[in-house]
């Protein structure tokens, strides 16, 4: 009996030691560790997007559905930090010997995703590609003032400007001002279907109308980042589908409209984050077509537009009336509510139409993207409001790909859309409305306005620069090549398994430090 008891005790003791040494980890039948209580969470972030990417070439594609993806794959010379201060990215630092010269010192050992080291030659090639007419880059006007680029060494590059430029560093923070690999462009013709950058994530695959998959760049220059192993962007154009996916945990993160946000705030496993965007909604006019080539007609339509009603109905009250420079840009934005053309004066609108030769109004077509409910709702409200002055509007809804082409080639007389003011007023005022602005698709041209925004670009005194841009905003609203409507709050629904996610007005999808728990 005693011998049997001793053997039993010894076996029990050995078993307890083995269990303690195992760290409470379970093993499968083949002896492999299954993790048990300490099973590591899969570091895969699943995001539901409202649109399919329009392409992946950072130098040629401005659509946000594309930017949100290629901004994770590519890096630029500099970027904004969380306080919107310019800090180094591929450049460690820079110096300015004079007002027209910038010298950037580059990080050593940074690799493209194909394994080749990035050097100053790549920087020179990338910006010369942006400036080249055949590229037709949407940010070419950002760097029109760059006269030449010199390679001073493998890790040093010099930009020579034609005139002092208060916007230069800010423009370099744009996601489209990316450094690309020459051999990849030459091999593929462009970068619309491929993406080889130096950013935190590598392009893995794109399944059209389904998903885009990115994977961690193990060679990223910031040690310990990114924290995620993979990011999957699912295309879910329908808001209801995205709502269902975030509720069930099918996805971890998605943008939602104000009405959906209010519903999701009641869900215990979902956190709804909001922030005031730099975006504004607008009505764009082809000013080369009758009757929209008449300034009085455009002014009449502005007077007939009740922007507060658009904020209340379309955005559930979570939007502010805006001009070309969104109110979230602070002192750079003027108080547009005091402008006469924002007064919603129906009688004056009718009088202007009469003076323009349209006493009985006219017929027009409003084109918008069918996949954006806010754009469709805005078009419907405008249809109702403009009817009060005799303007009979038909609404044409088109798919996203066609919408991008329609915007690019000014194929519509009236187009409802959304723009970003950017992080410097130069983007809002010169990029979209200077006669040679890269995104001026409206046919708008005014010599006095051009001189005004050009002087703002070269003015280094902030106080004087503000005065210039105030005048430019007043002049632009008076000309009304676009009607500027409202700037909405933005909402991102996030599962509670996601940590480290903070959206910023200048970067609503910053995921570099995000992880899963």
Q: How many residues does the chain have?
A: 517
pTM (two decimals): 0.81
Q: Where are the domains of the chain?
A: 74-180, 279-489
Confidence check: pLDDT of 31 > 60: no
In whole angstroms, give the CA distance from residue 290 to residue 297.
9
Residue 394: its pLDDT value, please?
98
Helix (H, G, I), strand (E, B) or coil at 28: coil
Q: Is the pLDDT of residue 21 over 60?
A: no
Residue 120 near residue 154 (C-beta atoms within 8 A): yes
What is the enclosing helix (H) or strand (E) of 201? strand 201-207
pLDDT score of 271 more than 70: yes
Give the separation between CA 281 and CA 300, rounded to whole angstroms. Answer: 19
Q: Which residues contact 314 (CB under 8 A, 6 or more apart)?
A: 281, 374, 377, 378, 381, 486
Residue ranges of alpha helices (H) inside 189-257 are 239-248
Q: What is the pLDDT of residues 195-246, one digit of tens each?
A: 999 999 999 999 999 999 999 999 999 999 999 999 999 999 999 999 999 9
Stretch 39-53: mean pLDDT, rounded? 93
- For the cut 50, the answer to whether the pLDDT of residue 1 exceeds it is no
Residue 32 is predicted with a pLDDT of 38
The two three-digit tokens of residue 303, written as one number:
């007077």
Whether the CA torsion 399, 403, 404, 405 is positive or negative: it is positive
**Is residue 262 helix, strand or coil?**
helix
The pLDDT, as a whole number, for residue 14 is 35
Q: What is the pLDDT of residue 56?
A: 98
- Euclidean distance between CA atoms 321 and 341, whole angstroms: 13
Structure token pair of residue 230: 């993979």
Mean pLDDT along residues 373-385: 97
- pLDDT at position 39 is 63
- According to DSSP, residue 430 is labeled I
- Gap between the Cα atoms of 3 and 502, Å rounded: 66
Q: Which CATH architecture has domain 279-489?
A: Roll (3.10)
Q: Which residues lie closer than 8 Å to 427 by C-beta, 6 or more apart? A: 142, 167, 171, 420, 421
Distance, in Å, from the CA atom of 323 to the CA atom of 333, rounded to the nearest integer, reads: 8
Instruction: Name the phi and psi angles at 454, rounded to 5.
Output: -65, -40
* Dihedral sign computed on CA atoms, order 428, 431, 437, 439: negative
Arithmetic mean of pLDDT over the chain = 92
- Band of pLDDT at residue 40, cut at 50, 70 and 90: confident
Q: Tell me the two tokens of residue 228.
A: 């995620």
CATH class of 74-180: alpha beta
> What would the pLDDT profile of 483-493 be if each residue is shown by its tens digit?
999 999 999 99
- Per-residue pLDDT, 11: 37
Burial 340-368 (b: 16+ CB within 10 A, else e): ebbebbeebbbbbbbebebeebbebebbb
Number of other residues whose CB lies within 10 A of the CB of residue 306: 18
Taking only the tens place, the pLDDT of each residue in 105-135 is 999 999 999 999 999 999 999 999 999 999 9
Q: Is 347 helix (H, G, I), strand (E, B) or coil?
A: helix
**Side-chain half-sphere exposure of 454, counting CA atoms within 13 A:** 14
Indicate the pLDDT class of residue 342, thresholds 50, 70 and 90: very high
DSSP state of 107: P
- Grade residue 34 by pLDDT with cuts at 50, 70 and 90: very low
Distance CA 229, CA 44 (A): 6
> HSE of 7 in the Cβ direction (CA atoms, 13 Å)?
4
């Amino acid at each position: 009996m005693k011998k049997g008891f001793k053997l039993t005790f010894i076996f029990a003791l050995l078993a307890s030691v083995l269990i303690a040494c195992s760290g409470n980890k379970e093993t499968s039948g083949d002896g492999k560790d299954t993790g048990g209580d300490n099973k590591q969470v899969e570091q895969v972030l699943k995001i539901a997007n409202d649109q399919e990417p329009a392409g992946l070439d950072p130098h040629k594609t401005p659509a946000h559905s594309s930017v949100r993806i290629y901004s994770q794959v590519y890096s630029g010379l500099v970027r904004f930090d969380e306080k919107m201060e310019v800090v180094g990215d591929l450049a460690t630092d820079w110096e300015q010997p004079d007002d027209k010269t910038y010298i950037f010192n580059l990080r050593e050992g940074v690799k493209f995703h194909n394994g080749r080291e990035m050097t100053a030659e790549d920087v020179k090639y990338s910006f010369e590609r942006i400036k080249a007419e055949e590229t037709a880059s949407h940010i070419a006007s950002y760097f029109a003032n760059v006269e030449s680029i010199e390679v001073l060494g493998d890790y040093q590059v010099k930009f020579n400007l034609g005139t002092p430029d208060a916007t230069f560093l800010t423009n370099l923070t744009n996601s489209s001002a990316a450094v690309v690999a020459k051999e990849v462009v030459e091999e593929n013709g462009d970068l619309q279907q491929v993406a080889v950058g130096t950013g935190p994530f590598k392009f893995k695959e794109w399944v059209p109308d389904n998903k885009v998959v990115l994977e961690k760049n193990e060679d990223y220059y910031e040690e310990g980042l990114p924290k995620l192993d993979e990011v999957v962007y699912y295309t879910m154009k329908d808001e209801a589908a995205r709502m269902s996916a975030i509720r069930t945990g099918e996805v971890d993160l998605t943008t939602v409209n104000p009405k959906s946000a209010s519903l999701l705030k009641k869900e215990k496993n979902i956190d709804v984050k909001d922030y005031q965007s730099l975006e504004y909604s607008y009505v764009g006019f082809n000013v080369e077509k009758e009757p929209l080539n008449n300034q009085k007609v455009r002014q009449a339509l502005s007077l007939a537009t009740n922007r507060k009603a658009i904020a209340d109905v379309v955005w559930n009250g979570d939007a502010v009336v805006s001009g070309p420079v969104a109110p979230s840009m602070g002192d750079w934005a003027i108080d547009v509510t005091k402008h006469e053309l924002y007064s919603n004066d129906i009688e004056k609108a009718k009088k202007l139409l009469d003076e323009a030769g349209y006493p009985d109004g006219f017929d027009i077509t409003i084109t918008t993207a069918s996949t954006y409910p806010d754009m469709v709702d805005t078009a419907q409200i405008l249809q109702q409001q403009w009817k009060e002055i005799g303007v009979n509007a038909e609404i044409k809804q088109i798919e996203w790909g066609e919408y991008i082409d329609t915007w690019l080639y000014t194929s519509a007389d009236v187009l409802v859309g959304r723009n970003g003011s950017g992080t410097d007023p130069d983007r809002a005022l010169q990029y979209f409305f200077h006669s040679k602005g890269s995104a001026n698709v409206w046919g708008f041209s005014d010599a006095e306005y051009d001189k005004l925004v050009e002087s703002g670009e070269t003015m280094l005194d902030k106080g004087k620069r503000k005065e210039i841009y105030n005048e430019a905003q007043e002049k632009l609203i008076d000309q009304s090549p676009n009607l500027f409507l409202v700037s909405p709050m933005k909402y991102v629904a996030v599962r509670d398994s996601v940590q480290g996610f903070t959206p910023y007005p200048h970067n609503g999808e910053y995921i570099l430090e995000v992880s899963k728990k």
